[in-house]
């Protein structure tokens, strides 16, 4: 049997598989920011240190897999006193829980872009979240933008009930190169 026929038979039996590309995720190419609100105001902040990777088969965003670990002590906000309070046991308890993680479990195409579902672990509790996103995957670059809301009480952050809104907006922005 010729090599061409053998290669064709192999491809028919086992399919062709696009090669996977890993994109490193770091604090310099990945932004995880939040907006917390209360009656009459809001505060913004985020995390400056994280480490992880995003993997894409070929250039198809539905194959995207994300695995990221956030250094919770790298939390910052628009107010120094608030930053210290957010790091305390009332919120992130960074001494007891120095890491937060997100690991995707599924990516689906939607009318507006993509829905990325995964497990978010904060304060030692893991909950499923789905974030709408725009994703562009190329051979050498990956971009992702998402804005969605979570309820902080789902992870045990109950401080300020009635004074601070339970819903927090998260903004994720990735511009990663291979």
* Domain coverage including residue 147: 18-177
- pLDDT tens-digit map of 68-124: 999 999 999 999 999 999 999 999 999 999 999 999 999 999 999 999 999 999 999
Residue 36 has pLDDT above 70, yes or no: yes
One-character DSSP codes across 97-157: --EEEEEEEEEEEETTEEEEEEEEEETTEEEEEEEEEEEEE-SSEEEEEEEEEEEGGGGT-
- The pLDDT of residue 17: 55
4 within domain boundaries: no
Average predicted confidence (pLDDT) for the chain: 92
Q: Is the pLDDT of residue 29 over 70?
A: yes
What's the domain count of the chain? Answer: 1
Q: Rounded to whole angstroms, what are the CA distances from 126 to 139, 163, 173?
A: 32, 26, 22
Query: In CATH, what number is assigned to the domain containing residue 44?
Result: 2.40.128.110
Residue 107 lies in a domain: yes
Residue at 8 is within a domain: no
Please report the pLDDT score of residue 7 as a whole number.
46
C-alpha–C-alpha distance, residues 109 and 175, integer Å: 20
């Amino acid at each position: 049997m010729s090599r061409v026929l053998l290669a064709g038979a192999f491809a028919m039996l086992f399919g062709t598989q696009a090669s996977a590309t890993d994109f490193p995720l770091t604090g310099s190419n990945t932004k995880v920011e939040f907006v917390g609100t209360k009656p009459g105001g809001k505060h913004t902040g985020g995390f400056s240190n994280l480490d992880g990777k995003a993997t894409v088969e070929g250039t198809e965003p539905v194959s995207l897999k994300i695995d990221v670990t956030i250094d919770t002590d790298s939390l910052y906000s628009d107010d120094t006193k608030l930053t210290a309070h957010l790091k305390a046991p009332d919120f992130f308890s960074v001494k007891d829980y120095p890491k937060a993680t997100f690991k995707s479990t599924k990516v689906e195409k939607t009318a507006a872009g993509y829905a990325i579902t995964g497990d978010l672990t904060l304060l030692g509790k893991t909950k499923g979240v789905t974030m709408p996103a725009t994703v562009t995957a190329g051979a050498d670059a990956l971009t992702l933008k998402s804005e969605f809301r979570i309820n902080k009480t789902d992870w045990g952050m109950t401080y300020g009930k009635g004074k601070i809104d339970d819903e927090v907006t998260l903004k994720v922005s990735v511009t990663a190169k291979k």
